[in-house]
Amino acid sequence: MNLLFLVTLFPLLGAVLLACFRRMPVNLAAIIGVGSMGLAALTTAWLGLAFFAADQTPYVQHLWNWVAVGDFRLGFDYRLDGLSLTMLGVITGVGFLIHLFASWYMREDLKDQTGYLYTRFFCYMNLFVFSMLVLVLGDNLMLMFLGWEGVGLCSYLLIGYYYRGEANAWAAFKAFIITRVGDVFLAIGMFLIWVQFGTLDIQTILIEAPSVLAEGALLTEVTALMLLGGAVGKSAQLPLQTWLADAMAGPTPVSALIHAATMVTAGVYLIARTHVLFELAPFTLELVGVIGMVTLLVAGFSALAQTDIKRVLAYSTMSQIGYMFLALGVQAYDAAIFHLMIHAFFKALLFLASGSVIIACHHEQNIFKMGGLAKQIPLAYACFLVGGAALAALPIVTAGFYSKDEILWLSFASGHTVLWLGALFGAFMTSVYTFRMIFVVFHGKANLHAHAPQGIAHHLPLVVLMVLSTFVGALITPPLAGVLPELEIDAGHATQIAVEVLAAIVAIVGVGIAAGLFLGRRRLMTSLVESEQGGRVWRFLHSAFGFDTLYDRLFVKPYLLVARLHRVDWIDALINLFPGLAKLANYGLSASQNGQMRGYAATFVLGATIVVAALVLG
């Protein structure tokens, strides 16, 4: 257990090495970048064994005192318990596979985009993993916030990895600025917690919360709301969701690691970690569920009208995290974390497979320009089938079925009927847009010639993730007992089966509808889109409900207007008065320094006379 620090040390070392020796050979950079992750994953496996051998007792490792000023004390403490171990497993396990895949992918990608450093990519990736690990291991909110900001930074750096493309730079700005809005809320939340608790230590807060915070009081609600603000920003939920789709400007492994499998789940982790605060704030807790439901519906509709393969996946990520938020809202915390883990598996699989498709199709990302790829790249096809099936939660064989249906069942059983209906409709949408994508990309007429990718670094991650996305992955049970409370359910077993069967039917029907609409010549869809009303709806969905335009009108334009109004800054003019005065005084005084000694002597005597006079007369 005392090896806990190693799990963060390896990626950090990797990042430092890669940053220091920027011109190292590509192979060496790959070995360092992927190897550090492999070591971290091995450490995690060892930690997992030790954790279960020690009967799942939480373990805290105090590394050093971080801040000690008066009563304000912060330790650099890592905490290993069921929740952080689960996150650890996802981050290092899935992270390792993605790194491995990336070592292949970036080599291919950089053939067309010359002039970018291979080492820089892996440096950022390793640094990202380090930050994410600090985020989930940190035993106090400040340390968690360090990781939180670290992942934000790395996300920015990686989205803008191809910094010569202007759109990429803007996308990176957008992600950074919008998540910053959330971070400000989180910081305010931390201030509020500090004021009320006098500590930022998470465990102390959780234990003392019932006695410190009044349930349902305004301040309690505001505190929880601020934390939610942070979570919403990082996890790309309404209303701070607009950055995620643009974040796809980064290389595909980045999208897989950061914008699907790990970072965007930080908000889910935050709420699960501080769930006691949310339970004391019923309104906010309810809001968590509602935000989740609305986001999953909005994202589901938006995904239907996307043409870029990565944007489809981005919206699906948003909607799946919506499910997790919904689960958190109905206090089904372990269902949320379970779905987080399963989602990491299949979403990483889908993103990596899409990366494979993109490389195979010579950097084509528009799904309508693909088509008929099933025969040309069978491995990617298989990945998409398995991953898509898990995303759509097709019954029995897929992992997604077990995790998502648990959320559906628990939302039903806990009496949140509206949320349940929304989630059920979302499940239907999910299978429609998922299989729309699969049918469009892999079936029908072949529009271009794809070459099948080769190499163990390409195949291995895909195959492993494929296995994990089937029911095999669902056999892993996160050891969350004792960390997160279980939801008490009094509904019967028969009802549960009925609800699950209903969900299964919905998913299958979705596939059927997708098949009807998008297999073959797609005449119905074409005519729908080409009609005036249909086109308008399509554009509305394509722009993801026009949130970008809305925010542009609501925030960006007024902000720029205010900035323009302040171009002539009267405060500045006022302040500039002082330099002017100083300059004037300088001219006056400099004139006295004329080099004439008699003047100097006279000044001396005059000054002396005044001094003596002041002493005598004053």
Partner 1 sequence: MNLTLTHLFAILPLIIVGITVVVVMLSAAWRRHHFLNATLTVIGLNLALASVVWVYFAGQGAVAPDLASSAVGFPTLVTPLVMIDGYALFYMALILVAALACSTLANAYLEGLDEHREEFYLLLLSSTMGAMLLVSSIHMVSLFLGLELMSVALYGMAAYTFKRRVSLESGIKYMVLSAVASSFLLFGMALLYAAYGTLEFASLGLRLVFEDSVGIWTLIGVGMMVIGLGFKLSIVPFHMWTPDVYEGAPAPVSAFLATVSKVAVFAVLVRFMIMSPTFDTKLHTVIAVLAALSMIVGNLLALGQTNLKRLLGYSSIAHLGYLLSAVVALRAGVTDGGGELSFTGQLVLETTGIYLATYVLTTLGAFGVVTLVSSPSRGQDVAQLHHFRGLFWRRPYLAVILTFMMLSLAGIPMTAGFIGKFYVLALNMNEELWWLAGTVVLGSAIGLYYYLRVMVSLYLAEPGEIQRDAAHDWGQRSGGVMVLIAALLTLLFGIYPQPLIDLVQAASPVGY
> Which residues contact residue 384 at a Cβ distance below 8 angstroms, ignoring those fewer than 6 apart?
350, 353, 354, 357, 437, 438, 441, 442
8 Å CB contact between 263 and 269: no
Question: Could you tell me how many residues of this chain bind partner 1 (CB under 8 A)?
Answer: 28
**Nearer to partner 1 (CB atom), residue 553 or residue 583:** 583
> Smaller CB distance to partner 1: residue 65 or 596?
596
| Contact characters 551-590, partner 1, x per CB under 8 A | ----------------------------x--xx-xxx-xx
Closer residue to partner 1 in complex, CB, 53/616? 616
- Residue 446, SS3 per DSSP: coil
Nearer to partner 1, 115 or 595 (CB): 595
Closest to partner 1 by CB, 3 vs 581, is 581
Q: Using CB atoms within 10 A of its CB, is residue 564 exposed (0-12), middle (13-18) or buried (19+)?
A: exposed
Q: Residue 562 phi/psi, 5° resolution?
A: -60, -40
Window contacting partner 1 (CB under 8 A); options: 199-207, 240-248, 491-499, 597-605: 597-605
Cβ closer to partner 1: 494 or 614? 614
Q: Residue 606 interacts with partner 1 (CB under 8 A)?
A: yes
Shortest Å, Cβ 600 to partner 1: 4
Stretch of residues binding partner 1 (CB under 8 A), selected from 94-102, 165-173, 428-436, 593-601: 593-601
- Decide if residue 593 touches partner 1 (CB under 8 A): yes
- CA distance linking residue 129 with residue 34, whole number of Å: 11
Partners of 308 in beta bridges: 366
Q: How far is the CB of 575 from partner 1 (least distance, A)?
A: 12
Asked whether 321 and 264 are in contact (CB, 8 A), the reply is yes
Of 275-283, 365-373, 374-382, 600-608, the segment contacting partner 1 by CB under 8 A is 600-608
Residue 406 C-beta: closest distance to partner 1, Å? 56
**Cβ 598 to partner 1 shortest distance, Å:** 10
Which one, 527 or 603, has the nearer CB to partner 1? 603
**CA torsion, ordered 17, 23, 26, 27, to nearest 10 deg:** -50
* Residue in 562, 565, 573, 616 binding partner 1, rule: CB under 8 A: 616
Nearer to partner 1, 527 or 596 (CB): 596
Which residues are within 8 A (CB) of 453 and not within 5 positions of it... i.e. 6 or more apart?
Answer: 104, 108, 356, 359, 360, 377
What is the nearest approach in angstroms of partner 1 to the Cβ of residue 45? 43
Q: What 8-state DSSP symbol labels residue 77?
A: E
In whole angstroms, how close is the CB of 76 to partner 1 at the nearest point?
22
Distance CA 528, CA 532 (A): 8
Cα separation, 599 vs 615, in Å, equals: 24
Q: Of 568 and 614, which has the nearer Cβ to partner 1? A: 614
* Sheet strands (E) in 506-596: none
Backbone dihedral angles phi then psi of residue 78, each to the nearest 5 degrees: -105, 145
CA distance linking residue 48 with residue 50, whole number of Å: 5
Cα–Cα nearest to 410, from 337, 468, 483, 470: 337
Cα gap 25→10, rounded to integer Å: 20
Q: Does 591 bind partner 1 (CB under 8 A)?
A: no
Q: How far is the CB of 608 from partner 1 (least distance, A)?
A: 5
Q: Is 115 in the site for partner 1 (CB under 8 A)?
A: no
Nearer to partner 1, 70 or 588 (CB): 588
Q: Is 600 in the site for partner 1 (CB under 8 A)?
A: yes
Tokens standing for residue 574: 């006022």
CA 11 → CA 109, 145, 572, distances in Å?
A: 23, 19, 47
Shortest Å distance, C-beta 577 to partner 1: 14
CB of 63 to partner 1, least distance (A): 24
* Triad 468, 331, 480: Cα angle to 5°: 45
The only residue of 563, 571, 573, 597 in contact with partner 1, by rule CB under 8 A: 597
Q: Is 65 helix (H, G, I), strand (E, B) or coil?
A: strand
Q: Which of 218, 418, 421, 611 binds partner 1 (CB under 8 A)?
A: 611
Residue in the structure block whose two tokens are 């990736």: 125
* Smallest distance, partner 1 to C-beta of residue 572, A: 16
Catalog residues that contact partner 1 under the rule CB under 8 A: 579, 582-583, 585-587, 589-590, 592-593, 595, 597, 599-601, 603-608, 610-612, 614-616, 618
